[in-house]
Structure 1
Amino acid sequence: MSRYVVMVDFRLRPGARTAFRTLVDLNARVSAHDEPGCQRFDVVELDGEADRVLLYEIYDDRAAFDAHMKTKHYFAFDAESAEMVASKVVTTGGLVCEGSA
């Protein structure tokens, strides 16, 4: 079975990036450290797009991602960042080829 990939494209309200990054970075670190089903959780800033942040997450399976969505740290991140987010698009899929060794 392939691992479960989640990509989230956040468009932030102007001026929210610093505060948002504090929250999302904590969520990423705690998820990767404390959740056994979370294999990877990257936060990406795009060149020339100050109000856009991407997440790239890999979980063992859909159940591990569903468990992530029920954690205290996820709920805190979601609630505290809600006013900073203008929009978000979530894309999911299965990891079919891993390029790293």
Structure 2
Amino acid sequence: MHAIFVTIKIKPGFADQFREASFGDSQGSVRDEPGCFRFDILEDKSDPNTFYLYEVYADGEAHMDAHRNAPHYKKWRETVQDWFDGDIQAIPMNTVFPSDEGWRAQKPGLLNW
């Protein structure tokens, strides 16, 4: 599986709006994209203007093509792009555990918010 860990710094005063706008992208990703197996939104405890995204996709194509062309991603990006404080940092990775089958088996549980 293809994973990505993203660090996003938000301008002061926009953390609440960023958090709210990001729910739609996260939920839409796991609900509507067959190749998305995880999309976590995390907030730094010591800096409420720093967020981390942990995303897992079947492969790079599911991330770079399907996800980035999805309506929920386009809406999110358009909404939040002016709130970024600097460049987004992204680290691409390969998952080790769970196995690919394990990721697939967990996906139905992600839809129970």
Partner of 2:55: 57
Q: Which amino acid aligns with 1:19?
A: Q
Partner of 2:109: none
Structure 1 unpaired stretches of 5+? none
Select the structure that is richer in strand. 1
Q: What is the alpha-carbon distance in structure 2 between the residues aligned to residue 57 and residue 7 of structure 1?
A: 7
Q: Which amino acid aligns with 1:43?
A: I
Q: What is the alpha-carbon distance in structure 1 between the residues aligned to residue 50 and residue 29 of structure 2?
A: 21
Post-superposition offset of 1:61: 0.7
Post-superposition offset of 1:6: 1.0
1:78-93 matched pairs, under 5 angstroms: 78-87=77-86, 88-93=88-93
Select the structure that is richer in helix. 2
1:9-88 matched pairs, under 5 angstroms: 9-66=7-64, 67-87=66-86, 88=88
SS in structure 1 at match of 2:12: coil
* Percent identity between the two aligned chains: 26
Q: TM-score, normalised by structure 1?
A: 0.91
Q: What is the alpha-carbon distance in structure 1 between the residues aligned to residue 97 and residue 40 of structure 2?
A: 18
Q: TM-score, normalised by structure 2?
A: 0.82
The alignment of Structure 1 onto Structure 2 pairs a total of residues equal to 99
Structure 2 unpaired stretches of 5+? 107-113
Stretches (4+) displaced over 4 A: none
